[in-house]
Structure 1
Amino acid sequence: MRVLAIDTSNLVLSVAVVEEGRVLAEMTTNQQKNHSVRLMDAISLLMDETNTLPEQLTGIGVAKGPGSYTGVRIGVAAAKSMAWSLQIPVIGVSSLEAVAMNALGAPGLIVPLFDARRGQVYTAAYRSAGIQRVTAEAAERLVLLRDWCALLGQQPGKETILFMGEDLGLHREAIRTELGERAVFAPASCNHPRAAHIGLAALRRLAEGEAGHPHELVPEYLQLAEAEAKWLAQNAACPEKE
């Protein structure tokens, strides 16, 4: 089985072609560029480099969010369109899980996070299940960072809590203030999601029968876009017409 994997859900653009037990090619950039312009060129380059024809793909894995609204939509829309045209499954993988997989084999809690503004973060908690996968300890959520740290601090014992993610610089001091020495921080090289991890997760889920039809995949935003929230609030305040 061979899978194309895509992540455009945040600042990072990452694309990979993987097969069972092997990463054939991967490209990851961390520049503030336009994913909608660069994604298809990156896919074309990796498909050419690996001599992969579209009909050789068994499925497409994609980061389904949370993250940037626009970024998530770009990746999910591209993955669904290609999977539908090729009549192959598409497998959505959590953007947070993709970051957490950089810590496979680590002890204690693994806590990836993305900044969501106004003191909030998108986050979840995972544990490494051996060196092949992570399992969710706490579900994805949008939460105030101080409330999240308070909840994590209630975990029994004194195990370390490994924080990961490109936005750690914005929250490092606040996390350290709340959790002290229990909080440890991943090095910069481990904070970026890798499409190779998404591809390997997609391969595993394909083998386990968890892949879905392209029409079934929906982005995971965890909150409404600001414009949509304002529209709903304004219309909720308007009296209904007779």
Structure 2
Amino acid sequence: MTILAIDTSNYALGVALLEDNQILGEYITNLKKNHSVRIMPAIQTLMKDCERVPADLTKIVVAKGPGSYTGVRIGVTIAKTLAWTLQIPLVGISSLEILASGTGRYFEGYVSPLFDARRGQVYTALYQFQNGNLTTVEQDQLVMLADWAGKLTELSKPILFVGNDLPIHRAKIEELLGTKAIFASITEHNPRPSELALLGRDIQGEDIHSFVPNYIRLAEAEAKWLEAKGKISNG
């Protein structure tokens, strides 16, 4: 089994190859550059360096959001195209789950990965490792950070926060949660595509035609267009 993992859901771009129980290769950058231009060369370079060709692939695993509307769409479109062309399974994994999986494995508490969603909002979720397996305590959601932190004060265990957008919200988290809040190292904030591959390894493929990203909310431009057409309310 040779799995190609693709993550362009945020500024970090990552691709990885997992073959059986070995990570053959992994490529990560955290740059504010156009993913649509860089993702295919990254995949091609990784495949060439690992001496693999597209026909060797047996599954595609992609980060399906939440995150950047454009970034999520790019990754999912490429993943669907590759899976359809090669006639191999496609699996989507939460972009937040990838972060949690990469940092919380040896943490005795909860993990709250987050992405900034502007105006005091964050995309986040809550996870916990139990018997070596990552379990979801709270599903992916868009929420005001203050409301989320208030909810977490009710937990009896510490919470590990992780994500490249953490500096934007760290002061508020510390103010509301105090010593209950633990912050991951800067080396852990980039989602690892190898974790993405591992998360999707044993999951059954989804229907490629009906597979859709998890944006959680509409892109602002799309929301305004629908509102102008009277298809959604102002509330």
Q: Same fold (TM over 0.5)?
A: yes
Consecutive aligned runs of 4 or more in structure 1 exceeding 3 Å deviation: none
Number of the residue aligned with 2:95: 95
**How far apart are the structure 2 equivalents of 1:216 and 1:62?**
15
**Structure-1 residue corresponding to 2:7:** 7
Q: Give the equivalent residue in structure 1 for 2:162.
A: 164
Write the letter of the residue equivalent to 1:168. L
Q: For each residue in 1:143-191, what CA deviation from the matched residue of structure 2 results, as whole angstroms up to 9, or x when unmatched?
A: 0000001111122x2x110000000000000000110110010000111
Equivalent residue letter for 1:53: V
The answer to whether structure 1 residue 120 and structure 2 residue 121 are counterparts is: yes
Identity of aligned residues (%): 48
Deviation string, structure 1 residues 201-227 (Cα, Å, up to 9, x no partner) = 11121xxxx211321321000001111
RMSD of aligned alpha carbons:
1.3
Alignment of 1:112-151 (within 5 A): 112-131=113-132, 133-151=133-151
Distance 1:237 1:35, change over 3 A: closer
User: Following superposition of structure 1 onto structure 2, how do residues 71-90 of structure 1 map, counting pairs within 5 Å?
Assistant: 71-90=71-90
- Aligned residue in 2 for 1:70: 70
Q: Which amino acid aligns with 1:112?
A: P
Q: What amino acid does structure 1 have at the position aligned with 2:145?
A: L
The one-letter code matched in structure 2 to 1:89 is: P
- Native 8 Å contact 1:105 1:129 kept in 2: no
Query: Does residue 1:231 correspond to 2:225, yes or no?
Result: yes
Task: Name 1:108's counterpart in structure 2.
Answer: 109
Q: Name the stretch that deviates more: 224-233 or 95-104.
A: 224-233
Residue 217 (structure 1) aligns with: 211
Matches of 2:159 and 2:108, distance apart in 1:
9
Gaps of 5+ in 2: none
Which stretch has the larger CA shift, 214-223 or 90-99? 214-223
Between the aligned partners of 2:229 and 2:31, the Cα distance in structure 1 is 38
Where does residue 197 of structure 2 map in the other structure? 199
Write the letter of the residue equivalent to 2:208. P
Contact 1:10 1:71 in 2 (8 A): yes
Aligned to 2:180: 182
Query: What residue ranges of structure 1 are gaps of 5+ in the alignment?
Result: none
CA offset at residue 107 of structure 1? 1.1
Contact kept? 1:17, 1:199, Cα under 8 Å: yes
User: Structure 1 residue 49: deviation in Å?
Assistant: 1.1
- Contact in 2 for aligned 1:19/1:203 (Cα 8 Å): no
Question: Structure 1 length as normaliser, TM-score?
Answer: 0.92
How many aligned positions are there? 231
1:237, CA displacement in angstroms? Answer: 8.5
SS in 1 for 2:177: helix
| Kept in 2: contact 1:105–1:130 (CA 8 A) | no
TM-score normalized with structure 2 length = 0.95
Q: Which amino acid aligns with 1:163?
A: F
Return the alpha-carbon distance in structure 2 between the equivalents of residues 164 and 200 of structure 1: 19
Q: Secondary structure at the match of 2:201?
A: helix
- Hey, what's the Cα distance between the residues in 2 that align with 1:13 and 1:86? 23
